[in-house]
Amino acid sequence: MKESVEKILYSGTQKAGISLSSGEIELFKIYLMELKKWSSKINITSLRKDMEIVIKHFVDSLFPVRHIPQGSFVLDIGSGGGFPGIPLKIAAPSLYVTLLDSTLKKVNFQKHIIRLLQLNGIRALHGRAENKDLYEEMGSSFDVVISRAFSDLGGFLSIGEPYLRRGGLLIAMRGREVRQELAENDKVLVRLRLRVVDVVEFHLPYLYEKRSLVLFSYI
């Protein structure tokens, strides 16, 4: 892939139905450089090629943006290198984003990026969503709870649901087998009184890998 980072970002986000300004593209370029720099010393991401990072981390993180109302309070559980929360904040500045991760070095990286990009209305917290004290502090206070870190859909629904306000959305970022996952978690949906609002299937540009967004709300 010989295309520039700017071209990949512009083309990739256009295919996701998102239009980035030149200033936002510059922020993503800084994010990319810092992600590679930190990952050479500590394990923030295993990806090393610009195109893979831009598409698999940045562009993939932006596909949910059209489903999140402006001004929403968003909780990103298991945010790792800041995905999807930081890309969402860059592309939709009106969002109020809380990043939550259990690995301190990744939270420190997130805080570094937030300071460097001078992002407001976003914070990075060290902790586990399962923690009772954290739930007592932040439970039922988010319009959107999102994650792409959970290997188990049922685990995300059970852990994320207590943080959601009535009328809010749980957004699970999944791979290709989402229909089977939904069928396997039917009892979890009944127990939590959640319903599937929408299933959005798409392919990542350039790489053509299949992804899915599953949107849940209360019955």
**Complete domains list, the chain, with CATH:** 66-218 (3.40.50.150)
Q: How confident is the model at residue 2 (pLDDT cuts 50, 70, 90)?
A: low
Q: What is the C-alpha separation between 38 and 31, in angstroms, rounded?
A: 11
Query: At residue 150, does pLDDT exceed 90?
Result: no
Q: What is the C-alpha separation between 41 and 1, in angstroms, rounded?
A: 25
Query: At residue 74, does pLDDT exceed 60?
Result: yes
Q: What is the C-alpha separation between 70 and 76, in angstroms, rounded?
A: 16
The structure's pTM equals 0.95
pLDDT, greater one: 48 or 142: 142
Mean of pLDDT values over 188-193: 95
Query: At residue 1, does pLDDT exceed 50?
Result: no
Query: At residue 188, does pLDDT exceed 80?
Result: yes
Joined tokens for residue 85: 């929360």
Mean of pLDDT values over 178-189: 92
Q: Helix, strand or coil for residue 116? A: helix
Query: At residue 79, does pLDDT exceed 90?
Result: yes
Nearest to 117 by CA among 13, 216, 25, 219: 25
- What pLDDT shows up at residue 208? 86
